C-alpha cells in the first residue's frame, strides 16, 4: 500500500492586507494634522502656496504614472520570458545583460542628465519603454539582449532623473526648502502603491491566457505615450548652462573632493546592492525545500510594508523633537543587516520569513526618503544626477558578479550572497556614523528657509 503525501500551499492571512491598508491610510491622513502644528507643508494643506501644491501634485502624478510603467515590466518581464519557453539559463543571461548595461550606463546617464536637462532624459525613459513594448509585440520571440538593455537603461533613469528634476525645479521656482521632505516620502509611498497596482493590473490583463499574452505590452506602450505627452506639455526644461569642461571641474571639486559626499554615496551603494540581492533571492528562499507558496500575495505585502515605513520618516524628522537623520539611518541600516543576517543563517518557516522580509522593506521605506534629504543637504543640485548615477555603478557591478557567480556558475550560495549584503549594510551604517562625526556645514542649509 502506497503512502499518500498531501501537499498544502501556504497562504498569507487576508487580514494582513487589511491591516497594512488601514495602517497606511491612518498614517497618510493623520500626518497632515500633526505636521500643521509644526508649520510644515503637505499635499492636504490649503494654507500654503497654491503654486507649490500644484507643482507637487503634478510631479507626484507623473512620477506615479512612470512607476506604473516600471512596475508592469517588473511583474510582467519574467512571465513573458517564461511564456516564450526561456529557461533558467536565459533568464540569468537577461539579468546579466541588464546589470552590465546599468553598470556602464548609470554614470553616463547621470552626468548627461545634469548637462542636457533632466526633462530630456526622462523623455528617453518613455521612449525606451515604448520601444521595448513595441519590440515585444512585433517579434515572434523578442531578443533578451535588446529588451534587457532598454529596460535596464530605463530603470537607471527612473532611479535618479525624476527626483533630480523635481529638486532642481523646486529650487528654481523658489519654494520652501523644508517642504521637500514631504515630497520625498510621498514619492516612496506612491511608488510602492503603484507597484502594487501594476501587479493587479498585469494579472487582470493576462487573465487565464498564459501563453504569449501581449496585453501588458500594449498597456505599457499606451502608458509610455501618455507619460511622454505629460512630460512634453507639463514640465519645463532644465537644460544645464555649463560646458562639459566646467561640469567636470565642478564634479571633481564637489563630488570627488568632499568626504561627506563619498560617505553618502557609499551608503546609497550599499542599500542598492542589498535591495538588488533581496529581490534576486527572496522567492528562491521562500520556496526552498519544495515549499509551495503563492508568491503573488507576498509581493504586495512587502511593498505595503515599504509604504508604511515611508510614513515613519516625517514623524521622526519633523517638529521640535525631531531626530537627526544620520542617527536614524545608523539604526535603520543596522536593523536591515540584522534582518538579512537572520535569513542568511537559517531560512526559517515561511511565516517568519515573510515577517522578516516585511520589516526589511519597512526599513527601506524609511531609508529612501532619508537619503534623498541628505542628498539635498550635501550635494549641489547641478551635480545631483551625476552623483546618484555614479553611486549606482559599484552596486550594479557587485550584483552582476553575484548573478554570474551565484546564479550561472553556482560558485556562491544564496546564504553567502546575503552575507555580502549584510556587510554592505553594516558599512553603510558606519558611513552614516562617520558623516555625523564630520560636523561640517552642509552644502544646502536645510533650515535656512
Domains and CATH numbers, the chain: 51-438 (1.20.1250.20)
pLDDT of 35 over the 80 cut = no
Average pLDDT over residues 59-78: 91
Q: 68 vs 20, which has greater pLDDT?
A: 68
Paired residues of 162 in beta bridges:
none
pLDDT of 8 over the 70 cut = no
**pLDDT class of 1 with cuts at 50, 70, 90:** very low
Whole-number Å distance between alpha carbons of 131 and 136: 8
Whether the CB-CB separation of 389 and 108 falls below 8 Å is answered with yes
pTM of the model as a whole: 0.92
pLDDT of 369 over the 80 cut = yes
Whole-number Å distance between alpha carbons of 319 and 181: 12
**pLDDT class of 60 with cuts at 50, 70, 90:** very high
Whole-number Å distance between alpha carbons of 232 and 235: 6
pLDDT at 61: 94
Average pLDDT over residues 334-362: 91
pLDDT of 304 over the 70 cut = yes
pLDDT at 241: 62
Query: For the segment 102-142, what is each residue's pLDDT rounded down to a tens digit?
Result: 999 999 999 999 999 999 999 999 999 999 999 988 887 77
Q: 98 vs 9, which has greater pLDDT?
A: 98
Most confident of 30-39, 222-231, 345-354: 222-231
Most confident of 267-271, 405-409, 435-439: 267-271
pLDDT at 45: 54
**pLDDT class of 242 with cuts at 50, 70, 90:** confident
pLDDT at 10: 83
Amino acid at each position: 500500500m502506497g503512502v499518500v503525501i498531501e501537499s498544502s500551499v501556504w497562504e498569507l492571512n487576508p487580514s494582513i492586507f487589511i491591516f497594512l491598508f488601514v495602517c497606511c491610510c491612518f498614517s497618510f491622513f493623520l500626518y497632515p494634522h500633526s505636521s500643521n502644528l509644526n508649520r510644515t507643508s503637505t499635499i492636504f494643506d490649503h494654507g500654503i502656496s497654491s503654486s507649490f501644491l500644484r507643482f507637487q501634485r503634478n510631479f507626484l502624478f507623473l512620477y506615479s504614472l512612470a512607476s506604473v510603467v516600471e512596475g508592469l515590466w517588473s511583474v510582467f518581464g519574467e512571465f513573458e520570458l517564461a511564456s516564450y519557453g526561456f529557461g533558467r539559463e536565459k533568464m540569468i543571461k537577461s539579468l546579466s545583460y541588464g546589470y552590465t548595461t546599468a553598470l556602464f550606463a548609470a554614470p553616463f546617464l547621470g552626468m548627461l542628465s545634469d548637462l542636457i536637462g533632466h526633462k530630456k532624459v526622462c523623455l528617453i525613459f518613455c521612449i525606451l519603454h515604448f520601444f521595448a513594448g513595441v519590440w515585444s509585440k512585433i517579434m515572434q520571440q523578442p531578443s533578451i539582449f535588446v529588451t534587457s538593455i532598454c529596460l535596464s537603461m530605463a530603470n537607471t533613469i527612473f532611479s535618479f532623473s525624476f527626483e533630480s528634476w523635481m529638486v532642481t525645479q523646486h529650487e528654481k521656482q523658489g519654494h520652501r526648502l523644508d517642504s521637500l521632505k514631504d515630497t520625498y516620502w510621498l514619492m516612496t509611498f506612491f511608488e510602492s502603491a503603484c507597484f502594487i497596482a501594476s501587479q493587479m493590473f498585469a494579472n487582470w490583463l493576462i487573465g487565464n491566457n498564459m501563453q504569449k499574452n501581449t496585453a501588458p505590452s500594449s498597456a505599457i506602450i499606451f502608458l509610455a505615450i501618455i507619460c511622454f505627452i505629460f512630460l512634453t506639455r507639463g514640465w519645463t526644461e532644465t537644460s544645464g548652462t555649463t560646458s562639459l569642461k566646467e561640469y567636470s571641474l565642478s564634479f571633481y571639486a564637489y563630488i570627488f573632493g568632499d568626504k561627506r559626499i563619498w560617505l553618502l554615496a557609499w551608503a546609497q551603494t550599499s542599500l542598492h546592492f542589498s535591495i538588488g540581492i533581496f529581490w534576486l533571492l527572496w522567492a528562491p528562499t521562500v520556496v526552498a525545500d519544495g515549499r509551495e507558496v503563492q508568491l503573488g500575495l507576498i509581493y504586495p505585502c512587502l511593498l505595503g510594508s515599504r509604504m508604511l515605513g515611508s510614513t515613519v520618516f516625517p514623524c521622526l524628522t519633523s517638529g521640535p523633537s525631531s531626530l537627526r537623520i544620520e542617527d536614524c539611518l545608523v539604526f535603520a541600516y543596522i536593523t536591515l543587516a540584522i534582518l538579512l543576517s537572520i535569513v542568511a543563517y537559517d531560512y526559517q518557516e515561511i511565516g517568519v520569513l515573510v515577517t522578516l522580509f516585511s520589516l526589511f522593506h519597512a526599513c527601506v521605506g524609511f531609508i529612501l526618503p532619508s537619503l534623498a534629504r541628505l542628498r539635498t543637504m550635501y550635494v549641489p543640485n547641478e551635480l545631483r544626477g551625476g552623483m546618484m548615477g555614479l553611486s549606482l555603478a559599484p552596486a550594479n557591478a557587485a550584483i552582476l558578479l553575484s548573478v554570474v557567480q551565484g546564479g550561472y556558475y553556482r560558485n556562491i550560495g544564496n546564504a553567502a550572497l546575503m552575507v555580502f549584503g549584510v556587510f554592505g549594510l553594516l558599512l553603510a551604517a558606519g558611513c552614516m556614523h562617520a558623516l555625523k562625526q564630520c560636523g561640517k556645514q552642509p552644502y544646502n542649509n536645510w533650515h535656512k528657509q
